[in-house]
Structure 1
């Protein structure tokens, strides 16, 4: 059972969870280890960061069985383990997790007019993106590169299950 409880191992664990004292794992089934993540210090760092970020986002949450985020993190770790760019996968998780930290920027359309096809920039004051014709409304906008805006917008909506 020692290999079943190594870091970055996924499976079904059977045991008892005690409210006081020690809890025990008595059996395991369907164990799958993320071998590449375990062997590569960089991939290990990205995976650890993702897990700690999700842990922080849900720390005060009552719903510890959040299957949506469990599946999303499991898919992210699988993609990283399978050779996908760990930084890109991590950035996708970061952008999509913002709402759990109480910050949900509007990445889809201009917060003023609803424009979806334009050059955009991010405005902290308005909590979302501004199209080019409304840039004058926030002289402290971030002046982000258009490629950065493109990726932020894409990362906010991409479903990791469709990456292959």
Structure 2
């Protein structure tokens, strides 16, 4: 059976002298893995369309076992992502998160759109670190964590000062801070940002410019959820940590600092 699906290449593995095993996140069928015969050959018609992060239209023959990629047409190569070290690093982390939390042949609503929005934004040279925060916050619900962000997780209050509680998995108001000794106190702007990361589609936000300290706090909270509540670790995140420890590898000026 032949199917034509739009998809994004999230992983490739060499197979034999000339083939690739390619994992795609497709709009119609979710995550699928196919054999791309001859794709390692430079002159192969499948060589370009099976590059990581590529958005394409794929003609796939499905039978018993693994499908076969018969044809592919490149829609967007994501050239900037593949040529820029920082962009590549953040994009690799994003696809690893999505790969980890999606199952083969199972479409999860909204995940394809999230990946497409994120890669397009990074490819258009938006702040890759901020875009990654959107993905991190949105994917925790796919992993089974649903933080209470609309009100106090304990008493339901919507007014007052708030902080984030890992114990309660959500916001606590100042009246309930005593429930968690380690509550992370937040400003109104930081509360708004967390809600934005968790609920608002990337394409509706545009190029969000954040202070470095703000991004570090947002990152610390969401990654603690991954580490402690979900118990998952990512190889690509370790590489990002090394890049942050060696900023000389990324001779790029900070964007003007402004937050809304």
For the aligned pair, the TM-score class normalised by the smaller chain equals 0.7 to 0.9
Residue 152 of structure 1 corresponds to: 194
Matching of residue 15 in structure 1 with residue 69 in structure 2: no
**1:163 equivalent in structure 2:** 205
Tell me the CA shift for residue 145 of structure 1.
4.3
Q: Which residue of 2 aligns with 1:118?
A: 160
Q: Which runs of 5+ in 2 are unaligned?
A: 1-44, 207-260
Looking at structure 2, the residues matched to 118 and 159 of structure 1 have their Cα atoms a distance apart, in angstroms, of: 27
Corresponding position: 1:91 with 2:120: no
Aligned match for 1:142, one of 183, 186, 194: 183
Task: With the length of structure 2 as denominator, give the TM-score of the two structures.
Answer: 0.56
Q: Deviations over 1:48-99 (max 9, x none)?
A: 111110111123xx65233521111111110111111111111111111111
Deviation at 1:102, TM superposition (A): 2.0
Give the one of 92, 95, 99 matched to 1:55: 99
State the secondary structure of the residue aligned to 2:49: helix
2:173 aligned to which of 126, 131, 143: 131
Structure 2 match to 1:3: 48
- How many corresponding residue pairs? 160
If each structure's strand is expressed as a fraction of its own residues, which one has the higher value?
A: 2
Q: 1:26 to 1:148 in 2, by over 3 A?
A: same
SS at match of 2:111: helix
Task: Quote the Cα distance in structure 2 between the aligned partners of 1:100 and 1:4.
Answer: 28
Q: Out of 106, 109, 113, which is 1:71 matched to?
A: 113
Q: After the TM superposition, which of the residue ranges 40-49 and 124-133 deviates more from structure 2? A: 124-133
2:83 matched residue in structure 1: 39
Is the CA contact 1:121–1:141 (under 8 Å) kept in the aligned structure 2?
no
| Offset of residue 160 of structure 1 | 1.2
CA contact (8 A) 2:149 2:171 kept: yes
Distance across 2 between alignment mates of 1:124 and 1:26: 48
Q: Aligned partners of 1:143 and 1:23: how far apart in 2?
A: 48
Q: Higher mean Cα deviation, 27-36 or 8-17?
A: 27-36
Higher helix share: 1
Displacement, 1:150?
A: 4.0
